[in-house]
Amino acid sequence: MVRLIALIIVVIPGIVAALGVKLMRDSVFGVFQWPFQSIFIQFFIGLLFFFAGVGLIGGFIFHRDKKRNKVQKRFQSRLKNANRG
């Protein structure tokens, strides 16, 4: 069950990022999508979707690796470093 939740946490931002890429691509080629009246707004919303999706995936992976102590020393929390001596 936990793996399914983790998969959903990764898949939904991936879909949002893919939608962002699609919106940006369509605006570059001049294809309007329904809710947008301007091509610049469509591109900007696509860019926001892309960065939000990639940021959420990256943050999830970074948090998981940080919890398992698989990150560099500079990214580890200061409390864990202080307890090591």
Does residue 12 contact residue 52 with C-beta atoms inside 8 Å? no
Distance between CA 23 and CA 31 in Å, rounded? 9
Please report the pLDDT score of residue 10 as a whole number: 85
pLDDT band at 80 (very low <50, low <70, confident <90, very high): low
Q: What is the pLDDT of residues 20-61, one digit of tens each?
A: 999 999 999 999 998 989 999 999 999 999 999 999 999 989
Report which of residues 7 and 52 the model is more confident about.
52
Q: How many CB atoms lie within 10 A of CB 65?
A: 12
